[in-house]
C-alpha cells in the first residue's frame, strides 16, 4: 500500500536518502533515460496495481488501468515539482484514474461477461487457496460475502462520495490528505464524507435487516 | 432515546467517540435489538475493511503492460519531436490578416477625419477619396486534392505491387495494384485508417487522395477508416456493387461474384445500382442469400476483425513515418500467434513496422524477449520454440564465436574510443545468438552491456559478419568481456 507522506513528516522522519534517490530517479526520467523509466515502473507497478485493485475491486481491466496510471505519470513527470512524495503523487493519479473508471462504469454497465466467468472460476479457486490455517471454508465464504457486500454498496454511492468514503473509512486517510488526493478543499471533502458515511452505513444496516428477514422467512418455510 | 444512526457505530468502532458517548450508545443497544443488530453488522463490515486494506492484487503480466506503456510514451515523444511548431503554421496567415485589418482601420480612420471637416461627410468622403470598387475575388483555380500515400505496416509471404514483389519500404500511391499470393499485407494511410489484404486477393487503388478513396477488390479485404467529412468519400467496389462508408471497420469477401460483408463498427451502405442495403455494427451479410448471419458466427467474425488491421500508434505522414520507424522481421512457427508489445500480430514469419525503441516479442509457449531497434533500421528475431541442440553443439558454436572474436581486429576498432576515454574497465556485452545448421546467423540481439550504445552496436555488427561454418544449429547467450 502506498503511504501518504507529507513534506512535514518527511522532514521529521529525516528520510533524506530515500528522497534524494527519488529526486534522482525523477531527474533521470525527466531527462528521458529509459533505464530510469524502467526502474520507475518496476518500483511502483505493484503498489499502483494494489491501489487500483482495492479501490475498484476490478480484475478484468486492471492491466489497462495500471497502464493508464503510468502513461499519465510519464506524461506529467516534467511538471512534478516535488510537492509530495512520488508515491503520493502516483497515488493521486491512481485515485483519479479509479474515479474515471467508476464514472464510466456508472455510465456504461460492464459488457462481456466471458472474462468474468473465467474469473468466477478463479474466485472459487481463490476461496480454497486463500484460506490457509484454521479458517474454515464457511468463514472464508462469509468473509468473501462481506467484501462483496462492501463493494456492492460502494457501487451505489456517487463516484466522488465513494472515493472519499474509501479513502477515509477503508484506507484511513484524514481530510487534508484526501483533499490533496482528490483535488478538492477539505470542507468539500468533509461534506462528501458526511453524506457518504450516512448513506453507506444506512445501506449496510438495511442489507442486514433484509438478510435477517429472508433467513426468517426461509426458516419458516423449512418448518412447514 | 432515538435509535442510533448506523454510522455512529462505525465511529465507535474507529475509536472516534468519547468514552461517555460510547457508554450511552452501548446502553441504548442493550435495550434495542434493532440497534444491536445494526451495530453487529457495522462492526463486521469494519473488520472487512481491514481485510480489504490488506488485499493483494492478482498477478499481472508486467512485461506486457511495461511494453505498452513504453510504446505509448515513446510514440508520443517522437510524434511531438517530429511535429512542426504550431505557431509557424499560422504565422503567414496571421500576418496577412493583421495587415488587412490595419489597412481597413487606417482607411476608416482617414475617412472619418476627412469627413469631419466637410459639411456633408458622406458626399465629401465620396468626392475626396477615390472610389474603391468592390471586386469579388476571382474563383481560385481548382487544385487537385492532396494525394494520399500508404505505408506498409505488415508484410507476409508473396505480395506483389504492379507485378513486382512489394518491398516493405514502398510507399503505396494512387493507381497501385496490390496482389497477394500466399501472403498478406497491411497498409496504413492515416492516423486511424488502413486496410489489410488477405491471401489470394487483389486491390486496385483507383482513387487515393484526401477527398476520395476508391478501392476495387477481388478477394478478401479488411478495412478500418477514421470518420470522413462530407467532402471525403470512401468506396470499395466489388464487381457490380459499391460499399460506401464514413468511419467504420468492415470486412469484405468478394470471390466469384459472391459478396460477404461484415461491419465491425460504424455504418456502411452497400448498393448495386438497383437498391441499397445498410449494415450496422455487428451485422454480417451474404449477398448471395441476402440474409444476416447467426450470432455465434457473427461474433467470431467480429473478434477476428479486431486484430486484422495493423496500424502504427502515431501517424505523421507515410514518408516521415517510414524514415523514423523500423522493420521488425519475425521468424515464428506457423501455428503460434506472435505478439509484439502484447498485441497479436500474426503467425509464422512476417515483417511488421514498429516505432524505434524496445519491444517485447512473444509467442504462446515461447519465452518472450526484448528487442531494440534504432530508427530506420531493421532487425530479425526468432520466436520459435528453441531447437533441441545438444550441449556439444552449443559448445562448438561458442568456441567458434570466441575464436572469431580473438582474431578480429574490428572489435578493437569498435573499442578504441572507449579505451581512449579509459572507460573500458570490466567492459562486457551479452549477446543472444541463433545459428542455423547452414551457419547463417538467424538472429543476434544485445541482451545486456555496460558499453555506450554506439560501441555495443558496433560490436554486434562485427559479430553479425562472422562467417560460421556448417554445423549444429544452436541458440545461446554469450557474455563477452572486452
Q: What is the pLDDT of residues B290-332, one digit of tens each?
A: 555 545 455 566 656 655 667 776 677 887 788 878 888 888 7
Quote the ipTM score.
0.77
Which residues of chain B neighbour A67 with C-beta distances below 8 Å? 65, 68-69, 72
A49 CA to chain B: closest CA distance, Å? 6
For residue B229, pLDDT beyond 70: no
**Pick from B47, B55, B61: which is nearest to A53 by CB?**
B55
Segment of A103-112, B53-62, B200-209, B276-285 carrying the highest mean pLDDT: B200-209
- Cβ neighbours around A8 below 10 Å, total: 8
Taking CB atoms and an 8 Å limit, are B69 and A67 in contact across chains? yes
Q: How confident is the model at residue B384 (pLDDT cuts 50, 70, 90)?
A: low
Which residues of chain A neighbour B62 with C-beta distances below 8 Å? 45
Taking CB atoms and an 8 Å limit, are A62 and B61 in contact across chains? no
Res A126: pLDDT: 44
B196: helix, strand or coil: strand
Q: Does A125 touch chain B (CB under 8 A)?
A: no
**Pick from A66, A67, A204: which is nearest to B6 by CB?**
A204
What is the distance between the alpha carbons of residues B387 and B439, in angstroms, rounded to a whole number? Answer: 15
Res B98: pLDDT: 54
Q: Which of A68-72, B123-127, B360-364 has the lowest mean pLDDT?
A: B123-127
Q: Does A147 touch chain B (CB under 8 A)?
A: yes
B41 CA to chain A: closest CA distance, Å? 7
HEC-encoded secondary structure of B407-427: HCCHHHHHHHHHHHCCCCCCC
What is the distance between the alpha carbons of residues A90 and A69, in angstroms, rounded to a whole number? Answer: 8
Mark the ranges of chain A whose per-residue pLDDT is less than 70: 1-17, 106-137, 211-224
Which residues of chain B neighbour A127 with C-beta distances below 8 Å? none
B150 neighbors B136 (Cβ within 8 angstroms): no
Within 13 Å and on the Cβ side, how many CA atoms surround B361? 28
Res A8: pLDDT: 40
A77: helix, strand or coil: helix
B383 neighbors B362 (Cβ within 8 angstroms): yes
Q: Which residues of B404-426 are buried (b: 16+ CB within 10 A; e: fewer)?
A: bbeebebbeebbeebeeeeebee
What residues of chain A, 37 to 96, have a C-beta less than 8 Å from chain B? 37-38, 41, 45-46, 49-50, 52-54, 59, 62-63, 66-67, 70-71, 74-75
Taking CB atoms and an 8 Å limit, are A70 and B69 in contact across chains? yes
Which residues of chain A neighbour B55 with C-beta distances below 8 Å? 50, 53-54, 147
For all residues of chain B together, what is the average pLDDT?
76
φ and ψ at residue B149, rounded to 5 degrees? -130, 135
What integer is the mean pLDDT of B454-474? 84
Which residues of chain A neighbour B73 with C-beta distances below 8 Å? 37, 71, 74-75
Tens of pLDDT along B180-203? 988 899 999 887 788 999 889 999
**Pick from B41, B62, B72: which is nearest to A71 by CB?**
B72
Place of cell 573499442: B415
Amino acid at each position: 500500500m502506498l503511504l501518504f507522506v507529507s513534506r512535514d513528516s518527511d522532514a521529521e522522519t529525516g528520510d533524506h536518502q530515500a528522497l534524494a534517490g527519488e529526486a534522482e530517479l525523477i531527474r533521470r526520467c525527466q531527462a528521458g533515460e529509459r533505464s530510469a523509466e524502467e526502474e520507475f515502473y518496476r518500483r511502483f507497478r505493484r503498489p499502483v496495481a494494489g491501489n487500483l485493485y482495492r479501490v475498484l475491486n476490478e480484475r478484468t481491466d486492471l492491466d489497462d488501468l495500471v497502464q493508464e496510471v503510468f502513461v499519465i505519470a510519464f506524461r506529467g513527470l516534467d511538471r512534478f515539482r516535488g510537492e509530495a512524495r512520488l508515491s503520493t503523487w502516483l497515488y493521486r493519479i491512481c485515485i483519479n484514474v479509479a474515479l474515471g473508471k467508476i464514472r464510466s462504469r456508472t455510465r456504461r454497465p460492464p459488457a462481456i461477461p466471458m472474462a468474468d466467468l473465467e474469473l468466477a472460476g478463479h474466485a472459487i479457486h481463490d476461496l480454497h487457496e486463500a484460506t490457509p490455517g484454521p479458517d474454515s471454508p464457511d468463514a472464508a465464504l462469509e468473509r468473501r460475502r462481506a467484501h462483496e457486500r462492501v463493494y456492492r454498496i460502494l457501487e451505489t454511492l456517487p463516484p466522488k462520495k465513494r472515493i472519499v468514503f474509501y479513502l477515509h473509512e477503508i484506507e484511513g486517510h484524514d481530510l487534508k490528505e484526501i483533499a490533496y488526493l482528490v483535488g478538492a478543499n477539505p470542507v468539500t471533502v468533509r461534506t462528501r464524507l458526511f453524506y457518504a458515511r450516512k448513506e453507506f452505513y444506512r445501506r449496510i444496516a438495511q442489507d442486514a435487516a433484509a438478510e435477517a428477514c429472508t433467513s426468517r422467512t426461509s426458516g419458516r418455510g423449512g418448518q412447514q | 432515546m432515538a435509535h442510533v444512526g448506523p454510522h455512529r457505530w462505525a465511529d465507535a468502532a474507529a475509536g472516534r467517540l468519547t468514552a461517555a458517548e460510547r457508554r450511552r450508545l452501548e446502553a441504548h443497544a442493550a435495550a434495542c435489538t434493532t440497534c444491536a443488530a445494526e451495530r453487529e453488522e457495522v462492526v463486521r463490515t469494519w473488520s472487512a475493511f481491514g481485510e480489504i486494506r490488506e488485499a493483494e492484487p492478482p498477478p499481472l503480466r508486467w512485461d506486457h503492460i511495461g511494453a505498452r506503456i513504453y510504446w505509448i510514451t515513446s510514440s508520443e515523444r517522437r510524434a511531438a519531436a517530429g511535429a512542426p511548431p504550431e505557431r509557424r503554421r499560422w504565422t503567414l496567415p496571421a500576418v496577412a490578416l493583421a495587415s488587412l485589418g490595419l489597412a481597413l482601420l487606417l482607411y476608416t480612420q482617414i475617412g472619418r477625419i476627412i469627413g469631419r471637416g466637410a459639411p456633408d461627410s458622406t458626399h465629401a468622403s465620396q468626392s475626396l477619396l477615390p472610389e474603391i470598387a468592390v471586386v469579388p475575388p476571382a474563383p481560385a483555380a481548382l487544385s487537385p486534392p492532396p494525394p494520399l500515400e500508404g505505408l506498409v505496416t505488415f508484410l507476409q509471404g508473396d505480395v506483389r505491387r504492379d507485378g513486382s514483389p512489394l518491398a516493405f519500404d514502398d510507399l503505396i500511391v494512387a493507381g497501385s495494384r496490390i496482389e497477394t499470393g500466399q501472403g498478406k499485407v497491411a497498409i496504413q494511410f492515416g492516423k486511424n485508417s488502413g486496410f489489410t489484404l488477405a491471401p489470394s486477393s487483389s486491390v486496385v487503388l483507383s482513387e487515393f487522395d484526401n477527398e476520395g478513396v476508391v478501392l476495387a477488390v477481388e478477394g478478401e479485404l479488411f478495412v478500418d477508416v477514421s470518420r470522413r467529412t462530407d467532402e471525403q468519400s470512401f468506396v470499395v467496389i466489388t464487381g457490380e456493387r459499391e460499399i460506401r462508408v464514413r468511419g467504420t471497420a468492415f470486412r469484405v469477401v468478394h470471390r466469384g461474384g459472391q459478396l460477404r460483408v461484415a461491419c465491425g463498427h460504424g455504418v456502411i451502405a452497400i448498393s448495386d445500382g438497383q437498391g441499397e442495403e445498410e449494415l450496422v455494427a455487428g451485422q454480417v451479410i451474404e449477398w448471395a442469400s441476402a440474409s444476416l448471419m447467426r450470432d455465434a458466427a457473427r461474433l467470431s467474425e467480429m473478434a477476428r476483425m479486431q486484430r486484422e488491421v495493423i496500424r502504427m500508434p502515431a501517424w505523421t505522414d507515410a514518408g516521415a513515418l517510414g524514415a523514423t520507424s523500423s522493420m521488425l522481421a519475425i521468424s515464428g512457427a506457423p501455428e503460434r500467434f506472435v505478439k509484439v508489445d502484447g498485441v497479436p500480430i500474426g503467425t509464422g514469419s512476417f515483417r511488421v513496422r514498429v516505432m524505434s525503441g524496445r519491444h517485447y516479442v512473444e509467442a504462446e509457449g515461447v519465452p518472450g524477449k526484448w528487442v531494440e531497434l534504432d530508427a530506420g533500421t531493421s532487425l530479425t528475431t526468432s520466436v520459435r520454440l528453441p531447437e533441441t541442440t545438444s550441449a556439444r553443439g552449443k559448445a562448438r558454436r561458442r568456441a567458434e564465436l570466441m575464436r572469431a572474436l580473438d582474431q578480429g581486429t574490428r572489435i578493437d576498432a569498435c573499442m578504441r574510443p572507449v579505451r581512449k576515454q579509459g572507460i573500458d574497465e570490466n567492459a562486457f556485452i551479452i549477446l543472444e545468438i541463433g545459428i542455423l545448421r547452414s551457419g547463417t546467423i538467424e538472429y543476434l540481439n544485445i541482451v545486456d552491456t555496460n558499453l555506450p550504445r554506439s560501441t555495443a552496436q558496433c560490436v554486434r555488427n562485427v559479430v553479425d559478419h562472422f562467417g560460421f561454418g556448417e554445423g549444429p544449429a544452436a541458440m545461446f547467450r554469450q557474455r563477452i568481456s572486452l
